[in-house]
Structure 1
Amino acid sequence: MRLTHFRERMTEEFGAARADTLAADHVFAELDRQTVNQALEAGWDPRAVWRVVCSTFDVPSERR
């Protein structure tokens, strides 16, 4: 998954404002206690980050 596709999915799922806030502010234990933005900047694969977000926020499987 490319980073642009990841950002598109975040926006589709949560809306633009909430996606940006979630990516900047929500700390995920599964991402080594980092936010989405921090994990991506640290080199995490966007697909792995998306899986964590989906799991944490119970995104339905058809939208994962």
Structure 2
Amino acid sequence: MDAACLRALRRRGHSDTSIAAMTPEEAFCEYCAYHGIMNLSPATLQMLDKLRGEVAAAH
């Protein structure tokens, strides 16, 4: 995992064990929350993937 992301997760109070159990989406959402981007959830990221897929299919 990226060192900056790991630092942010630890600063948010997560243990190394809980960090290891996170999905990449969960870790990213926690990283964003550390930086003040609130209410981002894995479902938000899934929607981004869907939208990217639609753009790729259109080309």
Pairwise TM-score range, normalised by the shorter structure = 0.3 to 0.5
Q: TM-score, normalised by structure 2?
A: 0.39
Q: Which has the larger radius of gyration?
A: 2
Normalization by structure 1: what TM-score?
A: 0.36
